[in-house]
Structure 1
């Protein structure tokens, strides 16, 4: 019997699902607070409490995730894009937008220490280590504007911070939709979901 390779260790799977649930709740509660008259899912007070709780939970989970990759020495290989990754982006974009619909096999086979193709690696690196930290920082500034008053003023005021936070919220909303869709494009409809639940694909 062939030994199953664990693509996603337990700590990664836990952090992934914490992020997934929290980011969805952050999106809904964030839009609830921003468009109070248009959305009536929760009261404003409940939205603020849920939003703040999920924000700090994502922050904690983000540090756990970062510590794991740094301590295991896997960050560079798993997440850091290389020059050859940029050259391969058209190959994977062509697969996702065209070749997949003709039933062609995926041009990349994930391995435990090399589990993201070039397009995924670049996307995840930008989201996890550039945009997410920026979203966390702007969220912290909005959470306690008095404490961060000088920093907020340095970057142009509270309206600028709020605008950046909202723009990033739209970006993460688009990513969540695309991520769920692309997760269905494994060799079976649920294979990628299974990997993120059990750690392996058949």
Structure 2
């Protein structure tokens, strides 16, 4: 009897944990940068920020940015070329999203190891798009003169800051939902370390 396939291939697990580290660093260091020149009438608590001061936060932010970009490109290429996106994240149908969202709100959404429900599929595509948006708007903020065309695409430097903040907030919201789902179904965490195996594959 052949061994069942892993739930999470090694490439997916590596990309997942590198993204988790990079996003945590980018969000916390970004909050430190935000505190130096707030967009809105509030600041983040110092314990929520990374870097200790503006220069330190900027250094952490750029270091994490390059890790996020490199790892994101790797994941996108792997997902497209290996068929991971086609097998696990497609298709996304509106009717299925509404059905699964309703079941999730009633805490009646069934969980099958290795199977993404429609809400998860939509959220993963959304966070990938937010990742692209946060990187592009960040580049516009980093090089507003050299990349003036990109800054203009976002409506200028000031509006690019708002786009960058909104994209970051969306990613942070995704992380909160993701962690909440893990807390509700904790058995999903171990396979993200070990790979796990789809035991049902033997029965098919």
**Structure 1 length-normalised TM:** 0.83
Of 88, 91, 97, which aligns to 2:96? 88
8 A contact 1:52–1:143 mirrored in 2: no
Q: Residue 49 of structure 1 corresponds to which residue in structure 2?
A: 59
8 A contact 2:137–2:154 mirrored in 1: no
Of 60, 64, 71, which aligns to 2:74? 64
**Helix, strand or coil for the counterpart of 1:67?**
helix
The gaps in structure 2 that reach 5 residues or longer are 37-42, 200-204
Q: CA 1:74–1:163 in 2, change beyond 3 Å: closer, same or farther?
A: same
The gaps in structure 1 that reach 5 residues or longer are 101-105
Deviations 1:73-93 (A, max 9, x none): 3322322334xx321223322
Of 109, 112, 116, which aligns to 1:109? 112
**Structure 2 length-normalised TM:** 0.82
Superposition map of 1:104-183 within 5 A: 106-111=109-114, 115-128=115-128, 130-183=129-182
Deviations 1:17-72 (A, max 9, x none): 11111111111111111113754341111100100110110100011111112221
* Displacement after TM superposition at 1:137 (Å): 0.6
d(CA) in 1 for partners of 2:87 and 2:131? 20
Q: Residue 103 of structure 1 corresponds to which residue in structure 2?
A: none
Name whichever of 170-179 and 138-147 sits farther off.
Answer: 138-147
- Cα RMSD of the aligned pairs, angstroms, is 2.2
8 A contact 2:7–2:195 mirrored in 1: yes
8 A contact 1:22–1:57 mirrored in 2: yes
Q: CA 1:88–1:33 in 2, change beyond 3 Å: closer, same or farther?
A: same
8 A contact 1:110–1:117 mirrored in 2: no
8 A contact 1:81–1:125 mirrored in 2: no
Q: Residue 6 of structure 1 corresponds to which residue in structure 2?
A: 6
* Displacement after TM superposition at 1:5 (Å): 3.6
